[in-house]
Structure 1
Amino acid sequence: MFAARATSLVKLVGLCLTAGVLVAALLFPVVGGLGLASNRAADTVDQTSGELAKAELPLVTTVLDMNDQPIAYLYDQYRIPVAFEDIADTMKAAIIAIEDKRFYEHKGVDWQGIARAAAKAGVDGETSQGASTLTQQYVKNYLAFVVGQGSEEAYEKATEVSLGRKISEARIATQLEQTMTKDEILAGYLNIVPFGNGTYGVGAAAATYFNTTPDKLTVPQAALLAGLVNRPSALNPEAGPEAAIKRRNTVIDAMRDNGAFGDDPAVAEQKAEEYKATEIGVVPDLDLLPNGCVGAGDGPVYGFFCRYLVDYLDKVGLSTDELLKGGYTIRTTMDPDATRAAKQAAENQVPKTAPGIANAMAVVQPGTDKHRVRALAANRDFGNNAEAGQSAYSIPAEVTRFGSGSIYKVFTAAAALEKGVARIDQMIEVPRTYTSRVYKDGNKGYTVKNYSDNYKERMTLTEALATSPNTGFIILEEKAGLNNVVDMAYRLGLRESMQGVNAKGEPLKADGSNGPSQGDQYKRDNSGSFTLGAGPTSVLEMSNVAATLMSGGTWCPPTPVEQVIDREGKPVQLKELPCEQAVAPELANSLVVGMSADTKPGGTAAGAASRTGWNRPMMGKTGTTEDHWSVGFMGATPQYAGAVLTFTDGVAPQVICPGNPPYLCGRSGTGVTGGDVAAPTWFNAMKAIHDGKGLEVKPLPEASPQYR
C-alpha cells in the first residue's frame, strides 16, 4: 500500500511540475538555463505551426488508361481527404468524446484535463486521461505522418516520452489555435490520423471498413473508427473483432456521457445500449485499395505498362517518392483493348507457364507529335511469383540481354539508302557465303553464310528485306559504313539499347566503369555482326523504330503519358524529350515500301500472315539470332506499330525449339525462327486490334524516286 501511494505521489508531483513547466514554456519561449527552449526553437515552432495550417497531406496517385478508367493506384498512405462538412456529426462526436471532451473549450492545451489526470494519478496511478488534446495529437500526427512520411524514425521522434517534446507540442498547439478554427483542426486531425490496415484519415477508413463515405457513418461505425485511433494494430477488427467491439462500446459510453444522445439520461442510455448491441458490421476481407503495379487494376495484364510508366516518369522529372505521396492523376496512353489483345496473342504462342521462354510485345501509335505507347504485354503475368509464370521486370520495355536477329538489317538498309549505295528496287549481291575484308574474326576475315542455299545470287533490296540473306547485308554494311549503321539504329529508336547499356545488356554506371556502351563497343571492335542483331535490345524500342519509319522518319520518345494533373487540378510539366526528324521523310517512306514484301510469297512472315487472314498493307521484318536463343518480329501499319521478342529467360540460355508450344532443347537442335513464334504473335494481336476498332484499311506511303 505504501509503495503504491508513493508511486502515485511521484506521478502527481511529476504531472504538476510538467504542467508548470509547460505554462512557463508557453509564456517564456527562452529558458536557456534549463535547455528546454531557445529563440531558434521558437522560430522552428512558429514555422511548424504555420505549415500545419496549410498541411499538404500524402495522397494517393491514380493512374488512368486512355479511356480515363483507373488501372493502378500508387501511394505510401491510403488517404481520401474530406472537408469538415462532409464528415458525419456522429464521427465528430465520437472522436471528441473519447479523445478530447473539452475540445471546443480549451485553447490547444487542456489544463483542466491535466489537473484531472493529476488527481486520477493520485488515486489509482492512471496518467493518460486528459494528457493530450486533439490539437496536440494533430501536431504529433502531422510531424509523424506528413513531415516524417510515416517512417519509424519520424514516428518515434514525434511520440517520444520527453518533456522537451511535450513543451514543443503544446506551444505549436496553442499557436495553431490562433491560425486555424476548431472545425479546421478537427477536420485536419481526422484526415491525418491512422486507422490501421494501411488507412489514414476518416475518408479511407470509412471506405475500407464499411464501404461507405464519412458523411454516412452511423454511430456504431463512427465509434468503431474512433476507437481504432487509440491502438489501430491491437484493435484491428478483422484480426480481433472482440477487442474492437469492446473498444467501440467504450466509445459509445463516452458519447453518451458527453451528451451525444441527448439530455434525457434514460433515452441516452437506451440508445447507447441499442448501439452497443449491433454487429461489428465490418466488410469481409476489408475493402482495401490496391497499391502498386502488382496489385492494382488487372495487375497481371496491366502491370508491365504500369512499371514502365513509373520508370519513365522518374526520368522525366516526377520521382517515385513524389508519385507515392503527391496525389497526382496520371492520364496514360494505355489502350486496355490493345493490351489484352497483345497479352492473349503472346500467351497463345507461348503459355505463361512455359519454362524458360518469354514472349513479349509492345505496341506504339505512330505520329509526328507523340509516339504513344498503347500496349506492353507478355505471356508472363506481371507479379512476384516466378513459379506461376510471373515476372516483376517490365520485360516488354527494358533492354533484354538477347538480340532481335535480322531485324537489325533494317538499320543497314536505312544507312545504305542515306549514303546512296542502295535503292529499294536496285539489285544487290547475295553470294552463298561471304568473307569480309573489312570486318575480322580474330586474325581471320569475317565469314558469313545464309540461312539456306536457296537464295538467288542477286535480288532487289526489297526482296532481301523480305527473305533476309545474311551475305547481302554484310556487303551493304561494308558500303554504308559500320559506324553509320550503328548510328542509324540509335537515330531510328534504339536509344537505350545503343547508348544506355553495355554489350552484356547491363545499364551503364555513372562512372563508366562497366562501359563502353553497346553501340560504342561495336564501333570500337569494328564488328560486322551488328547487322545480324545478336546484341541486347528492347522490344519497346524496336516497336518505336517501326513507329519512327511509319511517321515519315520522325522519332519521338515512346511515351506512356498523356497528361499529369496535380492535386489542385493543374497540369504538371514533364521534361520529355522533343520529337526530332531522324531521317528524311522520303527515305523513311521508301524504306517502309521496301519492307512491305515480308507477307508476300517467299517472305519470312508470309506463313504467319496467311494463317491469321491478314489483308492489310504493312511493313515488317523477322529476326532470328544465330544461336536461336531469341527471335523477333517488327512491323507496322499506318495506324499501329509493334514488335515482338521471344527469348529464353531462364538462368541458363538454351535453344528454343519448334513445337506446340515451343520448348527449350538444350544447347543444340533445330531452333525456331522469327516467322514461327514472334510473327504469329504480332499478326494475331494486330488483327484483333485493327478489326476490333473497325479501322479502315490504309495504304502505305509512296516511295520516293530518289530511293527507288
Structure 2
Amino acid sequence: MPKFQSSLKALAAVIAAGIVSAAALAPVASLSGVAIAQTERTMESDLTDLTDGVSPGVTTITDSQGKPIAWVYDQYRLDVKSEQIADVMKQAIVSIEDRRFYEHDGVDWRGTARAMVANVTSGGVSQGASTLNQQYVKNYLYLVDAQNEEEQAAAIETSAARKLREMRMASDLEKHLSKDEILTRYLNIVPYGNGAFGIQAAASTYFGVSAADLSVDQAAMLAGILQSSSALNPYTNPNGMLERRNQVLDAMVVSQHLTAEQAAQFKTKPLGVLDQPKRLPNGCISAGNNGFFCDYAIKYLQGHGVSKEQLTHGGLTVKTTLDPSVQEAAHNAVTRQANPQATGVAEVLNVVQPGKDSRRILAMTSSRTYGLNPEASETVLAQPASRSGNGAGSVFKIFTAAAAIEQGMGIETVLDVPRRVEMRGMGHGGAENCPADAYCVENAGVYRPQMSLKQALAQSPNTTFVKLIEQTGVPAAVDMAVRLGLRDYTDEGSFDGQASIAQYVKDHNMGSFTLGPMAVNPLQLSNVGATIASEGMWCEPNPIESVTDRFGQKVEVKHTPCEQAVDAKVATALGEALSDDVKNGTASDAARAAGWSAPTAAKTGTTESHQSAAFLGFNSNFAAAPYVYNDGTTTASLCTSPLRQCANGNLYGGMEPARAWFDVARNTPGAASGSLGKAAPEQVKGKTQALIDEVVGKPQATAKQLLESRGHQVKIESVPGPAYNRGTVVSARFDNLQGANPPVTLQISDGSQRPAPVVVPSQTYEEEPATPDSPPDLGAIIQNLLRQNGL
C-alpha cells in the first residue's frame, strides 16, 4: 500500500506540473519572481490565520450586572471547544465528507489523482475531491479572510491555481494542528443555512440544543445539510433534507459508527426541527426599553477606537454601565408622565452618575417604544442622546449665572427685576410692541423689584437674566454652556448646516440664549448637572464599563480624558445658588408632592412657545434632566395633565419634567443621600458686591479715585437723594462683568429729597413680648390700677 500511495503522489505531481504548465501558457505568460514571492507571503499569512482559527463571532452587550441586552454580528457563530461537540457529530461529518480524514495528510491523494485524471481528460476542473482540510481552507478564506466580493470570488474560483494553493495549505495545516483541532475548526466555521454559522449556532437554530447534546439523527441532518444549505433547507425542502440525512446515516454504517439496524431505526424518525429557526437577535432592535442605550453604546465604541469590524466579527463581550433597576425606574417615570402612544409628544430621561474621573450613564430612555413601527408610535431615533425639541428654556439661565459667578458676582448679589426690558444690539423681536431695532422681554409673572441671584434662579424672572447676560456678555454664557456639557454646540453645521450653534449665537449676540430657545441634547444637559456636582470637572458621558475579546483579554476603549471645566469654587457656588428651586422655587410643588427633601440643585425651564420643557436636578450622587418636547410633524404647543398637543400651551418644567425627576430619584439608590457643597464666603458676596459695599457712602471724588486706582472706568449718575448725603455714593452698578476691571457707574445723591417728618408720640411705652401661653397676673393689674388712681 505505501508503494501504491507513493505512485499516486508521483502521478499527482506529474499531473499538477502539467496543470501548472498549462496555466503558464495563459495570457499572463508567467509569474515574475516578485509575484511568486508575494504569493508565498500571502499563503504564509493565510496559513497563520488558519492555524489561529479565529473566525467571526457574536458580540454580546450586557448591562452592568452582566445580563445580555443585545447581540451584534455579521455571522451568527458561537465557537465551541472540541469537548463541547458531540462525538456523533464528528463521526457523521467524517463519514459523509471525508472517510479517510484520519489517514491522509491533509490531501486525499487517491481521490485527487482520480479527480486530476478526470480534469485533464475533460480539459477543465470538473472534480474536486476536497478533504475536510481543504474545505476548511476554502471556507476560511471565503468567510473570514475575504474583505470584499472580489476576494470572496477568488477564494472559491474554479481554477487549477486556486486548487493547488488550497491543497498545499491543507497539507501544511497537518504540520501545525492535530486532526481533532482541524475537525473542530471546520465544524465551527462552515455555514449551516438559515443564518447559522458553526455547529453551536446550527444546533440551537434547528433543534434548540447545544452542540454537545446533539443526537445521532440530529447530527446526521446537520452533516448532510452542508452539501447545500440552501437547497436542503428543512423548512422549504423537508423531503430532500430527510433523504440526505438518511444518506449520512448509511455512511455512518459504512464507517462502522452505526449498525445497519441502528441506522434503520434512526431513519424512521422525523427531522425533528423546531417549528421555525431559533435565531439569535441581531442588533439593538430586540433590546426593548434598553434599545436607545444600546444604540448609543455601539456608536460610542465606534467613536472611541473600537471598529465596526471588531464589533461584528470579534466575538467581544461589552459590559455597559446600564443599571437595570435605575433603567426600569427611569422608563416607568417617563411613561407615567407621557403616554407612549400620545401624538406628537415624548419625554426622555438620562441618569448620569457624577464623578471626577468618569461619568457613568446609569439609564437612558424615552416614553416612546424603541422599534421600527411608526404607526405604533415606535422609533429608533436617538431621542435621549441627540439635539431635539425647541430647547430647555430657563434651564439655560444656569449658564448666564455661572458666567456671572466666574466673573466675580456673588450668589447673594442683589439684581433688579424690571417688568420689561428693551435691549439694543442683542437680537430682535420678543415681547409685543417691541421697536424694530430692539429685543424686548417681559416676565411671565409678577415679582419683587429686586432679588438675589440665588432667589432669581429659584423664581426665574426673564428680565433679570436678559440684563445679566448683557453684563456677562453673550460669548461668556455660550462658552460656559459648552464647557459645562453642551459640547455638540460647537459642531460645524449644528445650527443651519453651515455654522455651529455656538458661533451663530456669538456672531449675532443673541440675548435670548439665556432663555434656552435652541434644540438641546438631553444627555448632554444631564451631564451639565453632573459636571457642576463634580466640582466643575467635565467628563464625557460613558456607557462602557469594559470590553473583552473572546479570549478574555481587555480591548482598549479610548475614553476622552476628563477636564476641569470651571473652577471648583465656582461650581460649588453655582450648586448652592440652585438649591432653592426645590424648596421655594418653581419646582417646590413637585418636590412636596413627591416627599422629596434631599439636598438638590435644580432649575426648571419652558420655552416661550410651550413646545418643550425641562427640569435639571442633581446632587453629588445623581444627575438627570427629564425633557419633554414635541416630536411630531407640527409646531403645536404642549399642555399638561395629560401631556398632549394643544392650541394654547400650559406646560412648564415644574410639571411633568420635574415629576419624572423626583419619581426616578426616589427609586435610585443613593440619590437621596447625595449632598451639595457650601459656597466659599467670597462666592456668597462676590468681588463685585464687595467693591460696591466699599464705595457706598463715600464722597463722589473719594469713590471715583478709589475705583480708578484699581483700573475701573467710572461713570457718574445723579439720582434723587436726601440733602444730608448730597454728593455721596448711594449705590453703584457694574455696567458689565467682562474683563478684570469692568466699568462702574456711581449713583450720586443730588440732595433733592426732603426728609420725612418725624412723628413723636405723646407717650412711649416699653412693652415686653406677649406670652400667649401664660395666664394674666390679675394681682399685678389691680395694684397698677390702684397706683394710677392714687389709692
TM superposition score normalised by structure 1 = 0.88
State which of 408, 414, 430 in structure 2 corresponds to 1:427: 414
Task: Find the aligned partners of 1:213 and 1:479 in 2 and give their Cα distance.
Answer: 70
Secondary structure, counterpart of 1:95 in structure 2: helix
Residue 201 of structure 2 corresponds to which residue in structure 1?
A: 204
State which of 486, 508, 520 in structure 2 corresponds to 1:525: 508
Residue 484 of structure 2 corresponds to which residue in structure 1?
A: 492
Residue 772 of structure 2 corresponds to which residue in structure 1?
A: none
1:450 aligns with 2:429: no
Is 2:206–2:274's contact at 8 Å kept on the other side of the alignment?
yes
Quote the offset at 1:321 in angstroms.
2.4
State which of 663, 686, 693 in structure 1 corresponds to 2:644: 663
Task: Find the aligned partners of 2:21 and 2:459 in 1 and give their Cα distance.
Answer: 85
Secondary structure, counterpart of 1:423 in structure 2: coil
Distance 1:417 1:43, change over 3 A: closer
1:390 aligns with 2:378: yes
Q: Which letter does structure 1 place at the counterpart of 2:633?
A: V
Matches within 5 A, 1:118-517: 131-148=129-146, 153-261=150-258, 268-295=259-286, 299-400=287-388, 402-420=390-408, 422-441=409-428, 444-452=437-445, 454-499=446-491, 502-504=494-496, 514-517=497-500
Quote the offset at 1:128 in angstroms.
8.0
Q: Which letter does structure 2 place at the counterpart of 1:598?
A: D
Distance 1:635 1:694, change over 3 A: closer
Task: Find the aligned partners of 2:406 and 2:392 in 1 and give their Cα distance.
Answer: 23
Task: Find the aligned partners of 1:177 and 1:59 in 2 and give their Cα distance.
Answer: 25
Is 1:36–1:164's contact at 8 Å kept on the other side of the alignment?
no
Is 2:76–2:201's contact at 8 Å kept on the other side of the alignment?
yes
Q: Which letter does structure 2 place at the counterpart of 1:672?
A: L
1:705 aligns with 2:681: yes
Is 1:19–1:111's contact at 8 Å kept on the other side of the alignment?
yes
| Alpha-carbon displacement from aligned partner over 1:604-643 (angstroms, at most 9, x marks no partner) | 2122222222232211111111222211111113211001
Size of the aligned set, in residue pairs, is: 664
Task: Find the aligned partners of 1:281 and 1:384 in 2 and give their Cα distance.
Answer: 33
**Which has more radius of gyration?**
2
The alignment's C-alpha RMSD in Å is 2.8
Task: Find the aligned partners of 1:695 and 1:623 in 2 and give their Cα distance.
Answer: 22
Is 1:25–1:167's contact at 8 Å kept on the other side of the alignment?
no
1:570 aligns with 2:562: no
Residue 589 of structure 2 corresponds to which residue in structure 1?
A: 607
Residue 8 of structure 1 corresponds to which residue in structure 2?
A: none
Task: Find the aligned partners of 1:400 and 1:440 in 2 and give their Cα distance.
Answer: 23
| Alpha-carbon displacement from aligned partner over 1:46-101 (angstroms, at most 9, x marks no partner) | 33223211232111111121112211111111211122233222111111111111
Quote the offset at 1:383 in angstroms.
1.6
Quote the offset at 1:146 in angstroms.
0.6
Quote the offset at 1:301 in angstroms.
0.5
| Alpha-carbon displacement from aligned partner over 1:406-439 (angstroms, at most 9, x marks no partner) | 111000000000001x322221111111112341
Secondary structure, counterpart of 1:424 in structure 2: coil
Which runs of 5 or more structure 1 residues have no equivalent in the other structure? 1-15, 262-267, 505-513
Quote the offset at 1:202 in angstroms.
0.9
Is 1:497–1:538's contact at 8 Å kept on the other side of the alignment?
no
Residue 730 of structure 2 corresponds to which residue in structure 1?
A: none
State which of 583, 597, 601 in structure 1 corresponds to 2:580: 597
Matches within 5 A, 1:48-59: 48-59=46-57
Which runs of 5 or more structure 2 residues have no equivalent in the other structure? 1-8, 430-435, 685-791
Task: Find the aligned partners of 2:569 and 2:674 in 1 and give their Cα distance.
Answer: 19
Distance 1:694 1:643, change over 3 A: closer
Distance 1:87 1:300, change over 3 A: closer
| Alpha-carbon displacement from aligned partner over 1:195-253 (angstroms, at most 9, x marks no partner) | 12222111222232233322222211111111121222232334443333222112111
Is 1:22–1:167's contact at 8 Å kept on the other side of the alignment?
no
| Alpha-carbon displacement from aligned partner over 1:636-691 (angstroms, at most 9, x marks no partner) | 1321100111111122332112342x2223xx5134111222111212122222xx
Larger CA deviation: 366-375 vs 623-632: 623-632
Task: Find the aligned partners of 1:368 and 1:43 in 2 and give their Cα distance.
Answer: 50
Q: Which letter does structure 2 place at the counterpart of 1:680?
A: R
Quote the offset at 1:148 in angstroms.
2.2
Is 1:29–1:42's contact at 8 Å kept on the other side of the alignment?
no
Is 1:223–1:252's contact at 8 Å kept on the other side of the alignment?
yes
Task: Find the aligned partners of 1:21 and 1:496 in 2 and give their Cα distance.
Answer: 69
| Identity across matched positions, percent | 42
Task: Find the aligned partners of 1:416 and 1:607 in 2 and give their Cα distance.
Answer: 28
